[in-house]
Amino acid sequence: MATNTTFAGLDEFFEYKNTLMGELMTNKKILEYLDHDNIGLKPRDLIYQSVFPYEYVPTVTENETTFICFDVDITKAPNTTYLFPTMYVWIFTHDNLMRLPGGGLRVDAISSEISKMINGSRNYGMGRLELDLVKRYSPIQHYQGRIMRFAATDWNRPIAGNDPHNLPANRRA
């Protein structure tokens, strides 16, 4: 199956990640789940420490912690009109932090909160972002979690303004 690899621009990688980072860092419940020691961590303290806009897997962790990582792939671009971005979110925590004080599991609570926040969102792609997979994930010893996959549809070659070089031949400027 041939795939179009000449995307007009891959801004969605940048835009989707920045949008999701902003949504995660303003979600009070997620911030509480990440601040398991209740020391009042600020969002800026978590970025690139516990929350990464790429698939981060620590080789050695000095402290038991919880991680949220996310990234975007283009899984298919069948033509020059549409492409199909896929967002992956990895949530994992140390075994000792798995159980929440009030009951339940930390990774389940974070997964649920992320799903409520972005599943069906119109902030990603040209339609709604749709959850299409959730499965277990265990990146290193003593860490367990979930991987979530969300699918979207976006424009492959967006038309910028009325630049005649960007318009299809059958369309008037």
Provide the residue type at 155 as one letter.
Answer: W
Instruction: Tell me the domain boundaries of the chain.
Output: 11-155
Q: What is the 3-state secondary structure (H, E, C) of 19-56?
A: HHHHHHHCCHHHHHHHCCCCCCCCHHHHECCCEECCCC
Would you give the distance in Å from CA 167 to the centre of its chain? 32
- The CATH class that applies to domain 11-155 reads alpha beta
Q: What predicted TM-score, i.e. pTM, was given to this entire model?
A: 0.82
Q: What pLDDT, in 10s, does the model give residues 19-56? A: 999 999 999 999 999 998 778 888 998 999 999 999 99
Divide the 173 residues of the chain into consecutive groups of 10 and give the mean pLDDT of each group.
Answer: 47 81 95 87 91 90 89 82 88 96 95 96 88 95 96 73 51 43
List Cβ neighbours of 43 (8 Å cut-off, separation of 6 or more). 25, 26, 31
